[in-house]
Amino acid sequence: MAKRPNLLLIMADQLAPQVLPAYGHPRVQTPHLDRLAEHGVVFENAYCNFPLCAPARFSMLSGRLPSRIGAFDNAVEFPASVPTFHHYLRLAGYRTCLAGKMHFVGPDQLHGYEERVTTDVYPADFLWTPDWRLDDETWLEWYHDMSRVLEAGPHRRSVNVAYDDEVEFEAVRWLHEHADGGDDRPFALTVSFISPHDPYLPPPRWWERYHGVEIDPPRVGDIPLEERDPHSRRHWFLTGRHRAAVGEPDVLHMRRACYALTSYIDAKVGRLLETLGEVGAADDTLVVFTSDHGDSLGERGLFFKMSFFEWSVRVPLIVHAPFAFGPRRVRANVSHLDLFPTLLEAAGDGALPELAAPIDGRSLASLASGASGGAADWPDVVCAEYTAEGVRTPLLMVRKGPYKLIASPGDPPMLFDLDTDPHELEDLAAHPAVADVRAELEAVVAETWDVEALDRAVHESQSARRLVSAALDTGTRTPWDFQPMRDASRLYFRESGDIQASYSGTVR
């Protein structure tokens, strides 16, 4: 078998692909991602499977729809018994490491990673459990609100920037130490940043990159509350729109801050790619760049994520592996579920290992290689779901070909033709000319989900977690948050008695 490639998965948080030049944005400055896209495979219609942080990530790592593993929201445990592709990579002889955010909830804070070099940025407990018993106009004090928009702008040192600087430092250090440490295993390193996630507080030097740059307003302006679809109306209250007025200057200011943070993350991508070159791994490392979900950034008067409109649910997906795939752009509908088999095939010389549990994704290799028949054989269907804050019944999405169906037992369905209506302005659900399309997509919904059973499962999970959370906060509290461990006796010159040899050896 040929030498197995290293795997580097780089994740941003809450980054809409529409913001990137690789996806058509004319003003945002991302030179490193531009080069990665120029020489890699750009998936133009890639989706997360849940437009919220933790479920999106659990689904991606397991290759399964969130509801199949009970990933209902940002405060649900990711079961330790669910295989991730990192479990398989370890069994295949890879050294696996996580630097940065993955929003694991529960006592297992590794999920197949052999090492983890930073803590996480969010709580690992059940604190953020939603409550579907609440009405449609409830705002949660611990949730997003419009202060994130109104206070956007340059900031000397935000929590998110402090975290991302640590993630970059530890990831670069780990790459050097892997190269220096005599470990012959290929590596699978995940580097996961929290930027450009709100609050939008870029360092001043990145904010100044956009001085004099005309910031584009939302393509679709604010939609009055009374004209919104039911979920977008709930979204108004969920994000605190009723508590503070937001005007166009505020939105433009926020978008500039988000663009600045995107450039900040691009520089970190550049540093990681530079480090691959420094350690001699640039030519045999498969690099994936993606985000856990998008960000509405004021489109349709929506902010953050938690919806199935394109700016919220689509993600950037760039695969760079010149030794395997030439540069190309792929229009087929794909999702994060497809990364699981894709990376395992790359690690297994084109073959999947025997799987202990079924997965819902398909390998992207045929699309990425442009193989004859690859696109023709692709099912071109993406399924996604949302069962967290802002709904009281499951909200579901199916995209097949150009059509997208959004369905929920409590709401009228919505149907869009994204080829002719990319801004999702014309709801075709009641249009007789596409009745057969609607029926076809509704059949996919019925085949994919038992909606009544899912609804019951979410209610039961929330109830159990509320009780457990209250109990764990009573008396002595034992946190689940990950604590990186470092043995100071093995750092720098103390590991070896040979000081001269230590100058060129590992620094940990």
Distance from C-alpha of 171 to C-alpha of 227, rounded to nearest angstrom: 47
Structure tokens at 189: 């390193």
Based on the residue annotation, tell me whether 53 is a catalytic residue of this protein.
yes
SS3 at position 396:
strand
How would you classify the pairing of strands 317-320 and 285-291?
antiparallel
* CA-to-CA separations, 401 to 51, 96, 320, 404, in angstroms, rounded: 20, 36, 25, 8
Q: Which of 385, 410, 388, 387 is nearest to 397 (CA)?
A: 385
Structure tokens at 56: 């999106």
Query: Which residue type does 444 have?
Result: V
Contact between 407 and 413 under an 8 Å Cβ cutoff? The reply is yes
Based on the residue annotation, tell me whether 111 is a catalytic residue of this protein.
no
Burial class (CB in 10 A: 0-12, 13-18, 19+), 107: exposed
Angle between the 248-278 and 31-38 helix axes, to the nearest 10 degrees? 60
Q: Which of 32, 48, 53, 336 is catalytic?
A: 53
Q: Which of 11, 37, 15, 10 is nearest to 255 (CA)?
A: 15
Q: Which of 32, 86, 87, 103 is catalytic?
A: 103
Angle between the 53-62 and 339-347 helix axes, to the nearest 10 degrees? 40
Rounded to a whole number, what is the distance in angstroms from the first to the last CA of the chain? 33
Distance from C-alpha of 482 to C-alpha of 110, rounded to nearest angstrom: 9
Distance from C-alpha of 139 to C-alpha of 276, rounded to nearest angstrom: 45
The length of the chain, given as a count of residues = 508
Extended strands (E) in 336-408: 381-386, 395-400, 403-408
How would you classify the pairing of strands 411-417 and 403-408?
antiparallel
- For residue 202, whether the previous peptide bond is cis, meaning omega lies within 30 degrees of 0, is no
Q: Which of 75, 38, 284, 326 is nearest to 179 (CA)?
A: 284
Contact between 78 and 104 under an 8 Å Cβ cutoff? The reply is yes
- For 192-240, the DSSP string reads E--TTSSS----HHHHGGGTTPPPPPPSS----GGGS-HHHHHHHHHTT
List the catalytic residues.
53, 103
